[in-house]
Chains A and B, each alone.
Chain A
């Protein structure tokens, strides 16, 4: 911290000794530093490439051009920031719900769009294109304002990275489905970061505006700026706070060199660097550096999982559920109930609709017809993150761990976004305890991608348990295990039920169902064909026929 303060002081003192060309260079570096870091604030963790930097930069600059003679400077800055945020929210609300690639395309043309709109306004309302800026702001003052912005964006970035918002954005970048099922409101997270990023970009544009004495939309909405910022951030590494800075300094110097000596080759060089990034440096220069180990407090002894309150009646109740995909009816008039504290098996031959049922319960899919209630509260149609906050957690048929995080961080995600979230040192201690409980003691710091398949399943379970669910949905969690692992897995699931969690278990491993499930719902072709204790149900002729087939038509 002291080192940073000294550095800032040194940088602030720079204009006292430098002037002219060098000061201009300093301004250039600072303004790209703010833009690139602000860009990485959103696009880094979420992995959504925004090509709209200059749209917000231009908005800031143009606001100054329009308002600088009528309002005091600080009010103008505030206005610039506010308009930038408003536009970001508008754009975000419309496009962030679409798939990532549509977002990129939309931002690709956004600055062109805004340029056209501003031009239209100037021509038709203002009746003249181009404005003069007679602000008496010195180069030094611009420099210091940019420095203040740079400090601010780094502080905000640092705070965000350590906050739940930052964690949520990284989870979204890794796997948005997991994010939603962990209780993260993905749309709101993305919008917030996008707006904050846009705020800094607009303020930068506003601060820089007095450098041009004459502004018109073509000058200020120059798409090249968006691309330069993306290059710098990607080259330096958008995943690390100081990464973009690593890209800014060399590139500003390189651009100076180029525009002095080879102005016509600027574009080609940009293109080549882009391709280098894609092929050789997908995580930027910062991505080549070894990851720093997170500091750790001593683990506290394992705490037993909280007892769920005993509830009379059913915990989960499904009535006449129906879900069709085009012409294929996956779930057809299905009704069943899970009592609190029981293990309900959901079984059936391939294609019978079991995973679809889990998806309907967890909110990954919405039912066409029918009702679902959890503890009496209707949950059909609620988003996955709301259902997660009500106390439902699940694992997935194809295991989903968060690639960019360690095992410990994966589990912390489960703690951070549940109804009463747990954060900080206590969350870490509880996470370590959970890892031990599922059999991953000592593997807390391993990157999730380096775990074995079985361990990844355990990690997914730990993450689900971290949200302290009332209802746990296990989608073929015991599949692919050898007999020893199966025995351990069965014991673990049973211990979970004994601590009060209600479990719905989709399985093909019949040994597991027979020893775990209190009751079984057997599905075939989307319908329920049996409901009862496993031993009884598997002796029913219709069930046997569903699995093994009949010899005759």
Chain B
């Protein structure tokens, strides 16, 4: 049935969007870094997963164990080496946002450039668990279902950690009010670095999962960044549930437009949705929240 087709495929795509948006929410909501190079790390993780699979016959699901911690460490280093000078220099959060946009813009090129040198500009894909299965009368590949499951599991784990643990709550506190966070002995700089690294780890996880069923090349990072940004802003900055719902909505909406109208108009539809939401509710669908 077409509706179920769209819903299912939309949920898978939306699940990926939601997972990556969660990472960007951490980077922007907590660390206040508008990371334009975000999508490049997703593509880089996908390329690494590809190499692990084709070179070492390592299943991408195992590859997660390698890639995610590596991404955490890498992003932690990036925050402390590249972004801390900007944090120290910025007099206000607004200034930091603008500076971080430009700096991560540069980072975008560096990461994309390194990926280009190593992998070149061609398209990559590999087949893994590419078995069709029937769900609710609709056919979907197992790898997509697995990706959705893993995304859901990771997302849930992060969500629980953020909501129930002291450190997670501390991160949310920094997103709500960094000055007050200092007053309860939270080291805001360290928390921001941790949030940035965690965000980077999440987007890498997204990249590995996505690589199972998408064809990708080094130029696709920009589109992923844009979509993640749109989801985060639509959902209300810092609002994790909002990002989740916005991500799913975007995935379903995009799939619907692709199947019902024209696959060439998905970005236009995304932008139209983005603009519509911002014009009606400038603080996003769900406004500021820390849940």
A and B touch in their complex, CB below 8 angstroms = yes
Contact in complex: A277, B278 (CB < 8 Å): no
Q: Given A267-B116, A272-B106, A105 and B233 touching (CB < 8 A)?
A: yes
Contact of B106 among A95, A116, A124, A275 (CB under 8 A): A275
How does the 8 Å CB contact mask read for A104-119 relative to B, with 1 for contact and 0 for none?
1110110011001101
Contact in complex: B82, A275 (CB < 8 Å): yes
- Give Cα distance in the complex from A278 to B230, angstroms: 25
Q: Give min CB distance, B210 to chain A, whole Å.
A: 19
Q: Given A119-B264, A120-B262, A272-B110, A278 and B102 touching (CB < 8 A)?
A: yes
Contact in complex: B109, A268 (CB < 8 Å): yes
- Check if B168 is an interface residue, CB within 8 A of chain A: no
Contact in complex: A101, B106 (CB < 8 Å): no
- Check if A65 is an interface residue, CB within 8 A of chain B: no
Q: Given A112-B223, A116-B268, A101 and B97 touching (CB < 8 A)?
A: yes
- Give Cα distance in the complex from A266 to B116, angstroms: 10
Contact in complex: B106, A266 (CB < 8 Å): no
Which residue on chain B has the smallest CB distance to residue A105?
B229
| A contact residues, total (Cβ < 8 Å) | 39
- Give Cα distance in the complex from A271 to B268, angstroms: 28
Q: Given A98-B278, A275-B103, A266 and B267 touching (CB < 8 A)?
A: no
Contact in complex: B99, A278 (CB < 8 Å): yes
- Check if A274 is an interface residue, CB within 8 A of chain B: yes
Instruction: Tally inter-chain residue pairs, CB-CB below 8 A.
Output: 111
Contact in complex: A275, B117 (CB < 8 Å): no
Q: Given A105-B229, A123-B264, A124-B262, A278 and B222 touching (CB < 8 A)?
A: no
Q: Given A105-B233, A223-B222, A278-B102, A95 and B113 touching (CB < 8 A)?
A: no
Q: Give min CB distance, A89 to chain B, whole Å.
A: 15
Label chain A's interface by main secondary structure.
helix
- Check if A227 is an interface residue, CB within 8 A of chain B: yes
- Give Cα distance in the complex from A98 to B281, angstroms: 11
Which residue on chain A has the smallest CB distance to residue B282?
A98
Contact in complex: A113, B101 (CB < 8 Å): no
Using a CB-CB cutoff of 8 Å, which residues 105-149 of chain B contact chain A?
105-114, 116-117
- Check if B85 is an interface residue, CB within 8 A of chain A: yes
Contact of A278 among B97, B106, B113, B233 (CB under 8 A): B106
Contact in complex: A271, B101 (CB < 8 Å): no
Q: Give min CB distance, A219 to chain B, whole Å.
A: 14
- Check if A273 is an interface residue, CB within 8 A of chain B: yes
Of B103, B116, B264, chain A has the most CB atoms within 10 Å of the CB of B264
How does the 8 Å CB contact mask read for A244-286 relative to B, with 1 for contact and 0 for none?
0000000000000000000011111111111101110000000
Contact in complex: A109, B117 (CB < 8 Å): no
B97 CB contacts on chain A under 8 angstroms: 101
Using a CB-CB cutoff of 8 Å, which residues 177-209 of chain A contact chain B?
none
- Give Cα distance in the complex from A117 to B278, angstroms: 21
Contact in complex: A277, B264 (CB < 8 Å): no
Q: Given A102-B233, A105-B226, A49 and B113 touching (CB < 8 A)?
A: no
- Check if B188 is an interface residue, CB within 8 A of chain A: no
Which residue on chain B has the smallest CB distance to residue A276?
B106
- Give Cα distance in the complex from A377 to B201, angstroms: 59
Hey, which bits of chain A sit against chain B, CB under 8 A?
47, 49, 94-95, 98, 100-102, 104-106, 108-109, 112-113, 116-117, 119-120, 123-124, 223, 227, 234, 264-275, 277-279
Hey, which bits of chain B sit against chain A, CB under 8 A?
34, 36, 82, 85-86, 97-99, 101-103, 105-114, 116-117, 222-223, 225-226, 229-230, 233, 262, 264-268, 271, 274-275, 278-279, 282
Report 27 cross-chain contacts, Cβ distance below 8 Å, ordered by A residue: A47-B98, A94-B279, A95-B275, A101-B34, A101-B101, A104-B101, A105-B229, A105-B233, A106-B274, A106-B275, A108-B226, A113-B267, A116-B268, A119-B264, A120-B262, A120-B268, A223-B222, A227-B105, A264-B116, A267-B112, A268-B117, A269-B113, A270-B106, A271-B110, A275-B107, A277-B106, A278-B106
5 smallest beta-carbon distances between A and B, as pairs: A274-B106, A271-B109, A267-B113, A268-B113, A271-B110
